[in-house]
Amino acid sequence: MKNDYVKLIECFSTFQGEGPDSGRRMIILRFKTCNLRCPWCDTQVKMRISMEAEYKLENIQKTIYDTNSGIMVTGGEPTVPRHYDEALALLRDLDYPIANVESNGFNLVKLINDVPKSKTIHFMYSPKIFSKRDADNAIELSEKLLDFDNVYFKIVYEEEANIKYYCVWLSEKIRKMEASHKVWLMPEGVTRVDLIKNSSIVFDASERYNFNFSSRNHLIYGFIWKVVIKIYIETNKHYFSTEHTGICVVRRKGEDDEDLIKRFRKKYSKSGLSRELRDRMYFEKRSDKKRRKRSQAIRLREKEDEKQEEIERRTRLRRFKLRNKNTRREFKNDKSNRRQSSGRRTQED
């Protein structure tokens, strides 16, 4: 099936901010929905407040040629059923020098197998690990993904037991395959301050596991705001906007490019930006709360598991002692029986 349009919440030209292709000029093509809700997700605000608009593949292609950019297919999660066909259409039907696909692994293996092998695509697998089960699932999927040359691993690193467990496994695997260029650790955080604060532990971890370090430059420099206007004009479509959409302006009937740019600049002047930042700050508070709750729940579960293990250990020990006691008693009884019977035999003799 050939798609002429794709539904996205963002389509703009900027630079890749993280991973092996960091710094390359790319058109960001962002889908709206995701199967997960990561507490530190830096796009959840956009996913929540932005409206989808239809983007013509033809216009995206024109922008690729004009700007000599690659494309970055991201989200949300591009491989969820709602976006799968459109993500495939972007990768299959467009002509680009390079593509990045960012995924939490949901249906990534299928997408890798479905896209034409002639295309230059780097698939970025970013496992989301919040529990032991997540780590085990990530290991299972990574086993498959390591078979593909064009898959890279981008991990948001925190000093957390399950993430360390996964990293130890991956580090061992990568060492055997001599493929340390495949793995990139990134600091956690949705603001510049958090990123810089959290970077030092990621430097140490990258050294320890023999991985690469990646910053998240789009958050550090905020450079997406500088080039966002251009694509909206070039694609020449109408964009939906609500009071709090944050990234769109609607071309008014008969409005020319100059007026549209003027209105856009006004809307995204310092006050526009600070509104977005205010949204983010609100989001950070909520996510911090969520994150605290989640880690409390994990800690509680781990404590309960430990308690359960301790109970089982003690029960096993008690049973073992009881068994020993019984055996000793039986042995003693046996011995005294033997002694008695030999005594009886001597008396009878």
Q: Which residues bind ligand SF4 (CB under 6 A)?
A: 34, 36-38, 41, 43-44, 75-77, 104, 128
Rounded to the nearest 10 degrees, how much is the dihedral formed by the CA atoms of 136, 140, 142, 145?
A: -160
Distance CA 167, CA 4 (A): 41
Residue 36 C-beta: closest distance to ligand SF4, Å: 4
Residue 41 C-beta: closest distance to ligand SF4, Å: 3
Contact by Cβ (8 Å): 74, 29 = yes
Contact by Cβ (8 Å): 213, 22 = no
Q: Which is nearer to ligand SF4, 289 or 344 (CB)?
A: 289
Residue 102 C-beta: closest distance to ligand SF4, Å: 8
Distance CA 218, CA 13 (A): 12
* First-residue to last-residue Cα distance in the chain: 105
Residue 37 C-beta: closest distance to ligand SF4, Å: 5
Residue 247 C-beta: closest distance to ligand SF4, Å: 16
Q: Which is nearer to ligand SF4, 63 or 79 (CB)?
A: 79
Strands 5-8 and 53-56: antiparallel
Distance CA 52, CA 299 (A): 38
Residue 128 C-beta: closest distance to ligand SF4, Å: 5
Q: Which is nearer to ligand SF4, 286 or 313 (CB)?
A: 286
Sign of the Cα torsion 195, 198, 199, 205 reads negative
Q: Which residues contact 108 (CB under 8 A, 6 or more apart)?
A: 79, 101, 123, 125, 141, 145, 151
Q: Which is nearer to ligand SF4, 128 or 182 (CB)?
A: 128
Residue 287 C-beta: closest distance to ligand SF4, Å: 10
Q: Which residues contact 24 (CB under 8 A, 6 or more apart)?
A: 15, 16, 70, 98
β-sheet bridge partners, residue 212: 184
Q: Which is nearer to ligand SF4, 90 or 155 (CB)?
A: 155
Q: Which is nearer to ligand SF4, 104 or 235 (CB)?
A: 104
Q: Which is nearer to ligand SF4, 93 or 134 (CB)?
A: 134
